[in-house]
Amino acid sequence: MGKLAASVLAADLAHLADEVKLVEPYADIIHIDIMDGHFVPPIALGTVVVASLRPWTALDLHGHLMVDTPEAYLEGLGEAGLDVVSFHHEAVGGNPEPAIARARAAGMRTGITLNLETPVEAAFPYLDQVDDLMLMSIRPGWSGQELNPDVYPRIEAVRSEVDRRGLAVDVEIDGGVKIDNAQRAVDAGATVLVSASGIYEAPDKVEAARALKEIASRGRSPLPAREGTA
């Protein structure tokens, strides 16, 4: 069954706990973007936000690190109550193993994130060491961008590799995910839909979360029947 991750980057930060509670009936994960102003220009959220949210929800908190030195953040995030942490392959010089080990030592599940320009094959040697592979479908750093369709064949390639090796690795799509494109992402092989503005800037946030969760849960569309078959 697929999962929905509600990204609070687009939420009303003045009422963040309430915004999380609003989508709890349908979200499986609360996605927290952590930015340092260097790896990406904006500065956003951080350890204090994780610690503040932790008492307010039993859902998994997943931190997406858009930072130059992810290893420097891991111990503090684990202590703050983060359940899962993903860092960018581009931020670790192409060698994610030390960060993976440090995240595990801090008590968190861990994953790798790839920007659109990074070949998905760069992460294949490490798939058996991680819990998720997150594929960006926008330029990282800003909510509200349109999904780049170049991500779909990338999802297909990762899904094929994960299935070929029989791995229990979630394939996540992050960026521009909305009701009108979510099914295509699932059909390509995504198991986690990360949505920020698709939920929190929708006219009805709860209905948007419900609809996205339904798409994630029902999985891939049935293949059309071939001629001569019932």
Q: Which two tokens stand for residue 47?
A: 């350890």
Confidence of residue 141 (pLDDT cuts 50, 70, 90): low
Quick check: is 94 in a domain? yes
Q: Beta strand 109-114 with 3-7: parallel, antiparallel or unpaired?
A: unpaired
12, 18, 33, 36: the catalytic one is 33
Predicted local distance difference test score (pLDDT) of residue 226: 53
Q: What is the pLDDT of residues 173-194, one digit of tens each?
A: 999 999 999 999 999 999 999 9
Quick check: is 225 in a domain? no
| Listed residue (196, 177, 197, 199) closest to 188, CA to CA | 177
Query: Is the model's pTM score more than 0.95?
Result: no
DSSP state of 2: -
Quick check: is 159 in a domain? yes
Bridge partners (DSSP) of residue 6 are 30, 195
Q: What is the pLDDT of residues 80-99, one digit of tens each?
A: 999 999 999 999 988 999 99
Confidence of residue 230 (pLDDT cuts 50, 70, 90): very low
Q: Which two tokens stand for residue 97?
A: 């193993």
| Listed residue (134, 168, 140, 169) closest to 154, CA to CA | 134
60 belongs to the catalytic site = no
Computed over every residue of the chain, the mean pLDDT equals 93
Predicted local distance difference test score (pLDDT) of residue 176: 94
Q: What is the pLDDT of residues 58-74, one digit of tens each?
A: 999 999 999 999 999 99
Q: What's the mean pLDDT in 50-57?
A: 96
Confidence of residue 40 (pLDDT cuts 50, 70, 90): confident
Q: Which two tokens stand for residue 135?
A: 């594929």
Tell which phi-psi region holds residue 46, choosing left (phi > 0), alpha (psi between -120 and 50) or beta: left
Q: Is the pLDDT of residue 167 over 70?
A: yes
Q: What is the pLDDT of residues 8-23, one digit of tens each?
A: 999 999 999 999 999 9
Of 40-49, 101-110, 159-168, 213-222, which range is least confident? 40-49
C-alpha–C-alpha distance, residues 132 and 113, integer Å: 8
Where do we find the tokens 């019932």?
Answer: 230
C-alpha–C-alpha distance, residues 123 and 119, integer Å: 8
Q: Which two tokens stand for residue 26?
A: 């349908």
Quick check: is 171 in a domain? yes
Which is higher by pLDDT, 19 or 1?
19
Q: Total domain count for the chain?
A: 1
Q: Is the pLDDT of residue 229 over 70?
A: no
Quick check: is 229 in a domain? no
Return the CATH number at 62: 3.20.20.70
Predicted local distance difference test score (pLDDT) of residue 46: 86
Q: What is the pLDDT of residues 101-136, one digit of tens each?
A: 999 999 999 999 999 999 999 999 999 999 999 999
Predicted local distance difference test score (pLDDT) of residue 228: 52
Quick check: is 224 in a domain? no
132 belongs to the catalytic site = no
User: Whole domain around residue 187: which residue ranges?
Assistant: 3-218
28, 36, 170, 174: the catalytic one is 174
Predicted local distance difference test score (pLDDT) of residue 2: 95
Which residues, including other chains, have CB under 8 Å from residue 41's CB and lie 6 or more apart? 141
Quick check: is 100 in a domain? yes
Quick check: is 223 in a domain? no
At residue 226, the 3 state secondary structure works out as coil
